[in-house]
Amino acid sequence: MINMFDKIDLYKKALDWAWKRNEIISNNIANADTPGYKAKDLNFEAFLQRSFNQEESLELVTTNERHIKESSSSPDNSIEVLDSSFQMRLDQNTVDIEQEMGKLLQNSLYFDGVSLQLSREINKWKMVIKEGR
């Protein structure tokens, strides 16, 4: 049986993934007109596998010692993947704005659903603590 803290940790990891994916999709949209830009996405299976294999928080990957150091757990950039499902335009850009907007909506709904589940879980424990009053 999964305990309360494990459940909340699972919700946290799901929200972390959705937040990181939102950043990646937003970056794709922002670079829709950038020549040579390749659309990216977040590999959910790799993120989930890595999250469950590590007891401690995920480490931030930096490429320069002057980059911002890790302050909280965040999904690792190594699980970002190039999205090869789109055709390249003449300028070698692979961003399809309609597809990205659809992904953004889907991700937003996922985030809202997980947030609602987390809220319900917390409210359930509040009721238990208050003994149903």
Q: Tokens for 70, please give them.
A: 């890790």
Among 121, 23, 41, CA closest to 82: 41
The values of phi and psi at residue 34, to 5°, are -85, 115
> Where exactly are the structural domains of the chain?
4-51+74-132
* 87 and 99 Cβ atoms separated by less than 8 Å: no
pLDDT per residue as tens, the chain (133 positions): 567 788 888 899 889 989 999 999 999 999 999 998 988 988 777 766 776 666 445 555 667 777 666 554 444 444 667 766 667 778 888 899 999 999 999 999 999 999 999 999 999 888 888 886 7
* 101 and 26 Cβ atoms separated by less than 8 Å: no
Amino acid at 46: A
pTM of the model as a whole:
0.70
